[in-house]
Amino acid sequence: MKLLDRYIVRQAVGPLLLAVILLCAVIWALQLLRLGHHLAGGGELFVLLGRAVPYSLPTLLVFVLPLASAAAVVYCLGRLTETRQLLAMQLAGVAPLQLVRPLLALVLLAGATAALASHLEPPALRALQRATLRHAGQALVEGLRPGRFRDLGGGTTIYVERRLPGTPPQFAGLLVGRDDGALLARRAKVRLVGEATIEIDLVQAEWHGRNAEGQPVRVRARRLRQRLDLGHALRPHFGFLARRATRGPRPLPPAVACVALGLIAALVALRSRSRLQGAALAALAVALYLFVAELCKAVEPTTGPLALGLIVSGGSLWAIARPTLRRR
């Protein structure tokens, strides 16, 4: 690698890593806000987070690397423009394609990483869901506090009056509120069955609800066993992670997206006079690309985004290399 290529790569590697870390941290913070109250109370929360971060890393890289690549290219070329280094390189006879070549190599490396992460994404997300659901079930059983309502999600709330000694946990005075009614019991035992199912053994229970005609109904039972599927309540809180868990590996679209967004950013940055102007124009171009990619995904989910990425990559590369071709 030539000296100029090494210098440009060094200018872009730092912003690329920083953008990846910041975007991953923001996404994980938002995800933790959705799941935090379900995971608190069972202990070993930091142990779960230590396992969950590696499980979610492939998905985060697939999502983040194209955007981080574009941000790193804009920052690198914008900084070279503002410090007049880019002008000095061009006056020395360096063609735009030569300036973009090391950045393109870095973007291709990011695309290869995204393609590898796409293969690891489905099994990693399934492992993440199993670990999170199991911990959420333990957190619910161990974290029930007398006198406090606990929202389980999915329209289900649980409340206990007093905790009794014994294993599994036993409670005096229990209320399970649901959209279709409420279940009350004098005493109850709560335990975790499987990965994400809560089993409640009730003594002297009453069910208050309404029948098909809308009339109030009360049913009494000396003993009753109720099961709550915590996984069904938690899955909506996984957000885009839950949706992506059902997908198979698609290595080409993330790799092509990295190249396409990187070349768009390079083309905009080379035509801009300042870093701020380049960043604003690149953000608009990237947003437009992502919007059109979503439209292509809706029309043809397999080849639409891939074809768009190849067209954008080829067009951007031709636009960057055109001044060089004219001089020759």
Which residue ranges make up each domain of the chain? 3-138+235-327, 144-230
Q: By percentage, how much of the chain surpasses pLDDT 70?
A: 83
CA distances from 162 to 168, 188, 205, 232 (A): 15, 10, 16, 27
Q: What confidence category does residue 119 fall into, taking pLDDT thresholds of 50, 70 and 90? A: confident
Residue 97: CB atoms within 10 A of its CB come to 16
Task: Dump pLDDT digits (tens) for 263-285.
Answer: 999 999 888 888 888 888 888 98
More confident residue, 6 or 152: 6
How does 53-87 read in b/e, with b if 16+ C-beta sit within 10 Å? eebbbbbbbbbbbbbbbbbbbbbbbbbbbeeeebe
The residues facing 172 across adjacent strands are: 162, 187
Beta strands in 75-215 (DSSP E): 149-153, 156-164, 170-178, 181-193, 197-210
Please, what is the average pLDDT of the chain?
Answer: 81
User: Does position 5 have pLDDT exceeding 70, yes or no?
Assistant: yes
Separation CA 300–CA 126 (nearest Å): 26
Please confirm whether the linkage preceding 168 is cis (ω < 30° from 0).
yes
- Residue listed under structure tokens 């499980």: 55
**Cut 0.95: pTM above it:** no
Average pLDDT over residues 106-120: 90
Separation CA 108–CA 261 (nearest Å): 11
Say what the pLDDT of residue 247 is.
Answer: 60
Say what the pLDDT of residue 70 is.
Answer: 93
Range picked from 154-163, 176-185, 283-292 for highest mean pLDDT: 283-292
Task: Dump pLDDT digits (tens) for 89-101.
Answer: 888 888 888 888 9
Average pLDDT over residues 292-297: 82
Say what the pLDDT of residue 105 is.
Answer: 92
DSSP code at position 208: E
Say what the pLDDT of residue 35 is.
Answer: 67
User: Does position 20 have pLDDT exceeding 90, yes or no?
Assistant: yes
Task: Dump pLDDT digits (tens) for 175-231.
Answer: 888 777 888 888 888 777 776 677 888 888 888 888 777 778 888 888 888 787 766
